[in-house]
A and B are shown apart, each in its own frame.
Chain A
Amino acid sequence: MKIVVLLSAGLHPVSGQSILPKVEAQALRLALALGEARGRHAGPTAFPASDALGHGLPHLVHVEIPAEADPVPALVATLEADQPDLILAGRRGQGGDETGLAPYAVASRLGMALVSDAIAVERGEADGTVIVHQALPKGARRRLVVRLPAVVTVHPDAPAPRAFAYGVARRGIVETRLAPPGLPAAERLEERPYRRRPKLMRSAPACGSASERLAAAMGATSSGVANVMVNPTPEEAARAILAHLRAIGVLPPKAA
């Protein structure tokens, strides 16, 4: 199975230093568990994607494009020649627009399937398939059987990346290629420095008094006061609790 890992030039969430995004190092670990993998990065320099060599990647292909160019056509141009069976990518490439569209665009141009938010990938029982475990909210999982070739994006809940080893990083190979000429520039949007804004008060009434909004911000709801049972028998209390839990949908409905 030919496996390619897409790597991006991320920024550290606190310091702003260029780093390999953690989720891509996690994708690399999933890829190496399946077989031999190669890296692919499109950007002005190989660093910080070349950090992936230290996490166990033997070979990185760096496609040199200007900083403001769209990486998708450059990636597609080099991937078309390789015809990989499986492409792993982070949930969202970092350092650029961070729209999360690049894996979808690559999959669509190469005619590959796409599965999002994987936390585990293994070979399927039938030939030409993989089994992908997908992370869902609230700790649930989904087991998918996917036909190859496929692009799989990796969720941050995937197993932690392999430790960085300096010797392994030195032995890895970085192959730099020039991008094919005539690549279109990415669409530029109006940009300004990021400014943090107050969060929306989730349960606050849209047009309540100041005291109502304060109560909502503290989590007290006006409906909460109504339903109080004082010294019921334990059986009554149990029935009321089970009925309430069923009404809000956390407990499955009574069987028959």
Chain B
Amino acid sequence: MTRLRRNPRGERAAKAVAGGARIRFDLAARAEDRGRPRRDPRAESAELLIGGHARPRLDRSGAAGAAPSSVEETAPTAPKIAVVESPAFLIAVVPDALGERLSQHDRQLFGAARMLAGADGAVVALVAGEVEGLASAGADRIVAIGEPGYDPEGRAAAIAGALSSLGLRYVLFPETSDGGDVARRLAVLSGEPLFSDVEQFSATSVSRAARGRRVEQRAASKRLMTVAADAVAAYAGPEREARPEPVAPAAPIKRAILDARRITADPATTPLTVADFVVSAGNGVTDLALFRRLAEALGATPGASRMLCDAGLMPRESQVGASGSVLTATCYFALGIAGAPQHLQGVAGCEHVVAVNTDLHAAMIERAGLAIVADAQDVMQALIAALKEEGA
């Protein structure tokens, strides 16, 4: 920064008063072109005042002065949708979508597909039935393959049809029991190479463990790939179009699976490590009979904190935490649990946490997606009453 060099003689000369025999100066006069203008802080703050408040409040964000331009800015903040109008090639994803919802693993698969697609390609979701959240997961197109329900033979035949009719460059499956099953059926049906259980995924190459995890095999991306969980990050960009595409119905095939019936897990006997919904009691729960009734009414697997297991009030198998079971549940419902670090380690894998505790500053309240600061006994009573009322 360069500052203008002062010229004291010139300043003084500018203040000279003309006329008179002696040289006279008006030192109070301000030179017009000199320095910065004097600030008037009172006038400035009066401009920033916002009306409608008992106490004077100032808006220092700068929005008050620029009110007309802010209207122009709000218009383009509507959610932007990325569109690939005429894709150069197609990458297909076959999500499991159990219960018409995408799992975290399915979303990671879309992340992998977007990595392969780049800017020119489009990601096609091959789904059976209506699946929610495909646009935000990163799908440009949606192609229906059959009806929802267990039909791996029909699904493999439909994908084999789409493979040739849509000219799919790659097809990605999750390495789960259902996704891996369909992928392998498709591999033998179509004769395409399959690279299963990908653990390292990049846009050009993939690698997997083999021979009892002694070696890892690496290859360029194959046409069919099954991707392990947590190998790729999920897609985090703007929402995609998710445009439904028509596809010819697959030819009927002869099925050897004559009947399939799903038997839901019995929550009372499911091990905690695989349970989907766990309701857990801590030191804040005094009426354990009520707690067991609630677990039964909600259809949840009962768990407990170390305090209750040490006291012998709940079986040791039901202990949640570092020295008990580490959960993989979708939802964890903590009643009267403050949340010791060791307990929170056991809950780290849970997608949603609901907590009821009397202490607002408990760690479990901080971790929870829905936190209720209240006594657990009263809430349990009210929950059982509400469930009974709905059932009646």
Q: Which residues of A contact B (CB under 8 A)?
A: 10-13, 16, 94-101, 104-105, 107-108, 113-117, 129, 133-147, 150, 155, 189-195, 197, 199-200, 202, 204-207, 218-221, 223-225, 227-232, 234-235, 237-242, 244-245, 248-251, 254-255
9 residue pairs of the A-B complex, CB under 8 angstroms, read A98-B209, A101-B187, A116-B152, A116-B181, A197-B200, A227-B368, A238-B386, A250-B277, A254-B390
With both beta carbons as reference points, the residue of chain B lying nearest to A230 in the complex is identified as B373
Question: 7 smallest A-B Cβ distances: which pairs?
Answer: A113-B256, A11-B212, A139-B265, A234-B382, A238-B382, A139-B270, A219-B348
B366 contacts partner chain A, Cβ-Cβ < 8 Å: yes
B188 contacts partner chain A, Cβ-Cβ < 8 Å: yes
Known: A219-B348, A241-B379. A146 touches B330 (CB 8 A): no
Least CB distance from B284 to A in Å reads: 14
B219 contacts partner chain A, Cβ-Cβ < 8 Å: yes
B153, B232, B331 — most chain A CB neighbours (10 Å): B331
B275-A138 in contact (CB<8A): yes
Interface residue from B184, B199, B230, B330 paired with A249 (Cβ < 8 Å) = B330
Known: A189-B217, A190-B219. A144 touches B230 (CB 8 A): no
Name B213-229 residues within 8 Å CB distance of A.
213-219
Bound-state Cα–Cα, A243 to B56, Å: 41
A227 neighbours in B (Cβ, 8 Å): 368-371
With both beta carbons as reference points, the residue of chain A lying nearest to B187 in the complex is identified as A101
Least CB distance from B115 to A in Å reads: 12
Bound-state Cα–Cα, A224 to B260, Å: 39
A133 neighbours in B (Cβ, 8 Å): 263
A137-B176 in contact (CB<8A): yes
Known: A140-B263, A241-B383. A16 touches B212 (CB 8 A): yes
B331-A195 in contact (CB<8A): no
Bound-state Cα–Cα, A214 to B221, Å: 33
Classify the secondary structure of B's interface with A. mixed
B372-A104 in contact (CB<8A): no
Q: Which of B60-68, B121-129, B158-166, B350-358 contacts A (4 or more CB under 8 A)?
A: B350-358
A139-B274 in contact (CB<8A): yes
Least CB distance from B97 to A in Å reads: 12
Q: Count the B residues whose beta carbon is within 8 Å of the partner chain — how many? A: 89
Q: Mark B267-300, 1 if CB is under 8 A from A, else 0.
A: 0001100111100000000000000000000111
B265 neighbours in A (Cβ, 8 Å): 138-141
B99-A241 in contact (CB<8A): no
B199, B263, B351, B370 — most chain A CB neighbours (10 Å): B370
Known: A140-B264, A142-B261. 8 other contacts (CB 8 A): A108-B188, A113-B256, A137-B98, A141-B265, A191-B217, A227-B371, A245-B331, A250-B330
B216-A244 in contact (CB<8A): no
A147, A237, A242 — most chain B CB neighbours (10 Å): A237
A221 neighbours in B (Cβ, 8 Å): 367, 369
B340 contacts partner chain A, Cβ-Cβ < 8 Å: no
B131 contacts partner chain A, Cβ-Cβ < 8 Å: no
A97-B217 in contact (CB<8A): yes
B370-A240 in contact (CB<8A): yes
With both beta carbons as reference points, the residue of chain A lying nearest to B298 in the complex is identified as A251
Interface residue from A94, A129, A155, A248 paired with B212 (Cβ < 8 Å) = A94
Interface residue from B177, B197, B387 paired with A136 (Cβ < 8 Å) = B177
Known: A100-B184, A139-B274. A117 touches B354 (CB 8 A): no
Interface residue from A140, A189, A224 paired with B219 (Cβ < 8 Å) = A189
B99 neighbours in A (Cβ, 8 Å): 249
Interface residue from A206, A220, A231 paired with B374 (Cβ < 8 Å) = A231
Bound-state Cα–Cα, A231 to B357, Å: 10
B218-A248 in contact (CB<8A): no
B84 contacts partner chain A, Cβ-Cβ < 8 Å: no
Bound-state Cα–Cα, A42 to B188, Å: 20
A139-B275 in contact (CB<8A): yes
Known: A227-B371, A237-B372. A10 touches B212 (CB 8 A): yes
With both beta carbons as reference points, the residue of chain B lying nearest to A187 in the complex is identified as B193
Bound-state Cα–Cα, A231 to B277, Å: 25
Bound-state Cα–Cα, A239 to B231, Å: 39
B318 contacts partner chain A, Cβ-Cβ < 8 Å: no
A200 neighbours in B (Cβ, 8 Å): 230-233
With both beta carbons as reference points, the residue of chain B lying nearest to A134 in the complex is identified as B177
B216-A192 in contact (CB<8A): yes
A100 neighbours in B (Cβ, 8 Å): 180, 184, 196-197
B101 contacts partner chain A, Cβ-Cβ < 8 Å: yes
A224-B390 in contact (CB<8A): no
A143-B216 in contact (CB<8A): no
A220-B367 in contact (CB<8A): yes
Least CB distance from A207 to B in Å reads: 8
Bound-state Cα–Cα, A200 to B231, Å: 7
B233-A206 in contact (CB<8A): yes
Name B324-370 residues within 8 Å CB distance of A.
330-331, 333, 344, 347-348, 351-354, 356, 360, 365-370
B383 neighbours in A (Cβ, 8 Å): 238, 241-242
Bound-state Cα–Cα, A135 to B370, Å: 32
A138 neighbours in B (Cβ, 8 Å): 265, 270, 274-276
Least CB distance from A114 to B in Å reads: 7
B311 contacts partner chain A, Cβ-Cβ < 8 Å: no
B256-A255 in contact (CB<8A): no
Least CB distance from A9 to B in Å reads: 10
Name B164-185 residues within 8 Å CB distance of A.
176-177, 180-181, 184-185
Least CB distance from A184 to B in Å reads: 14
B274-A234 in contact (CB<8A): no
Bound-state Cα–Cα, A65 to B16, Å: 114
A194-B216 in contact (CB<8A): yes
Least CB distance from B250 to A in Å reads: 18
